[in-house]
Amino acid sequence: MPIKWSAVKVSEAMDEVEQQVSLAEPFLAEARASVEAARQIADLPQYIDQHLVHLITDIDRLDYVKRGIEAVRDAIPDGAIETEQDRIRHSNRQSLI
């Protein structure tokens, strides 16, 4: 059964999201290192450290984003991208004739 939405466009969007996430990773790693350094400040009260630990946890949630991207890709029906690409190629060939 053909789908009515564009699997190719969804796949391309996930490629863009993945690229943006990969650009963010080094900055988030630096941010995490800065938070870890802040946790080493002498005589840091526990309530501040708890906030810092929570911040590290939030930064580490980038893995959730990556898993979300994969979940979208996995939800695309098998063969849908290839079928759509074939249909696009065939329609382009016919319009050239």
Q: Is the dihedral of CA 45, 47, 53, 58 positive or negative?
A: negative
Listed residue (60, 12, 52, 17) closest to 35, CA to CA: 52
Is pTM beyond 0.85? Reply is no
User: Is 67 inside any structural domain?
Assistant: yes
- pLDDT, tens only, 1-56: 678 899 999 999 999 999 999 999 999 999 999 999 999 999 999 999 999 999 99
Range of the domain at 22: 7-96
Work out how many domains the chain is built from and give that number.
1
User: Is 30 inside any structural domain?
Assistant: yes
**d(Cα 56, Cα 37) in Å, to the nearest integer?**
11
